[in-house]
Amino acid sequence: MIPLTYYLVLSAILFTMGALGVLIRRNALVIFMSVELMLNAANLAFVAFARQYNAFSGQLFVFFVMTVAAAEVAVGLALIVAIFRVKHNIDVDQMSSLKG
Amino acid sequence: MDFTLLLFFLLAATAVATALGLLLSRNAVYAALFLVLNFATVAVFYLLLGAPFVAMTQVTVYAGAIMVLFLFVIMLLGAEKLPKGEALPWQRPLAIGAAVILFAEAVYLLVQRVRLTAALPDPGTWENSMESLRQMAGMLFTDYLLPFEVTSLLLLVAMIGAIVLTKGERAVRS
């Protein structure tokens, strides 16, 4: 019923908004959430293509992307907590020195 | 306009609006809750596309586990209020320009090059049956066995990394 193009354009819109969030926000947590939005947009395109070609591979790749996202969030949030303990701030502008 | 198309546009509007809320909200907790709503909307898209298992995983893993972790860290750090902060004056227009270019490129690649204008086949009862789930699981454990095993290694490394990162900092402080 719904053309594949609609899903792809929606996926492109969500991906662009995630990229925009990474570029304009300065809070490390919100930047992380924007990265999640981008991964999610890619997943939507994967599932739409899986529907189009009637193949399970697209859906299986979504599981792998979810696993990578979970691992990335675990390590990334640990990094943010570690940085917060030193700097008492998670503004990315403050993270300008290589040695804490 | 049939019901499915109407549902699609309603959900698409919700997804874009919640993404905008994530971009614009000045409170990190609100941003996280907007993202939860966005994930829930995308889960309904997965149901429309005949991928019920992916939809349920989306709700439990993404909207459940990952976003709870986010909210937990926001509360732990007490970082929910985001300061205004002076941005570089040229950064925002440049970012918006770059985003417009990215969107144009993505639409060109996905729509012009793919050239699929035919409507997607509606998912029937087969896609929502246990038999289809069984076939997908069979594929995961045969064709995609190596990526699956690598995934377990990745999760182990991430777990150890998270523990070491937070533990090492405490040792330095004391």
User: Which residue in B has a C-alpha nearest to residue A19's C-alpha?
Assistant: B99
Residue B118 has pLDDT above 70, yes or no: no
Q: By mean pLDDT, which of A42-56, B72-86, B92-106 is the weakest? A: B72-86
Summarize the confidence of residues B112-117 as an average pLDDT.
68
Q: Say how far apart CA B173 and CA B150 lie, in whole Å.
A: 35
- Percent of chain B residues past pLDDT 70, beyond the cut: 87
Residue of A nearest to B152 (CA): A67
First to last CA, chain A: 55
Q: Where residue B159 falls among pLDDT bands split at 50, 70, 90?
A: very high
CATH topology of domain A4-94: Helix Hairpins (1.10.287)
Q: Residue B54: which of A36, A41, A63 has the closest Cα?
A: A63
The structural domains of chain B, with segments of one domain joined by +, span 129-174
The pLDDT tens digits for A70-93 are 999 999 999 888 888 888 878 887
Of A17 and B122, more confident: A17
Q: Which two tokens stand for residue B135?
A: 């076939």
Residue A92, Cβ density class (10 Å: 0-12 exposed, 13-18 middle, ≥19 buried): middle
Confidence at residue B173, expressed as pLDDT on a 0 to 100 scale = 53
Distance CA B42, CA B58 (A): 8
Phi, psi of B119 (to 5 degrees): -70, 145
Tokens of B106: 């993505």
**Is pTM beyond 0.80 here?**
yes
Phi-psi region of B99 (alpha: psi -120 to 50; beta: other; left: phi over 0): alpha
Using a pLDDT cut of 70, give the percent of chain A over it: 97
pLDDT tier for residue B87 given thresholds of 50, 70 and 90: low
Percent of chain B with pLDDT strictly greater than 90: 43
Asked if A62's CB is within 8 angstroms of B102's CB, the reply is no
Q: Which residues of A touch B68 (CB under 8 A)?
A: none
Segment B8-57, tens digit of pLDDT: 999 999 999 999 999 988 888 999 999 999 999 999 999 988 888 999 99
Q: Domain residue spans in chain A? A: 4-94
Q: Which of A15, A22, A24 to mutate to test the interface with B (most CBs of B within 10 A)?
A: A24
Contact residues on chain A for B48, CB-CB shorter than 8 A? 2
Helix (H, G, I), strand (E, B) or coil at A91: strand
- DSSP character for B85? -
Sign of CA dihedral B114, B116, B122, B124: negative
Q: Is the predicted pLDDT of residue B115 greater than 70, yes or no?
A: no
Number of inter-chain CB pairs under 8 A, A vs B: 229
Average pLDDT of the residues in B92-106: 90
Identify whether the C-beta of residue B35 lies closer than 8 Å to the C-beta of residue B22: yes
Which residue among A34, A40, A50 sits closest to B42, beta carbon to beta carbon?
Answer: A40
Alpha-helical segments (H) within chain B:
3-24, 28-48, 52-57, 67-77, 91-107, 130-140, 145-173
- CA distances to A62, B68, B146 from B138, in Å: 16, 31, 14
Identify the residue among B6, B16, B39, B70 best suited for mutation to test binding to A, counting A beta carbons within 10 A and taking the highest. B70
What mean pLDDT value characterizes chain B?
85
The ipTM, to two decimals, is 0.91
User: CA B159 to CA B80: how far, in whole Å?
Assistant: 25
Dist. CA B56–CA B39, nearest whole Å = 11
Q: What is the DSSP letter of B50?
A: T
pLDDT recorded at residue B86: 60
Chain B residue with Cα closest to A46: B46
Using a CB–CB cutoff of 8 Å, tell me whether A42 touches chain B: no
> Which residues in chain A are contacts of B31 at CB distance < 8 A?
29-30, 33
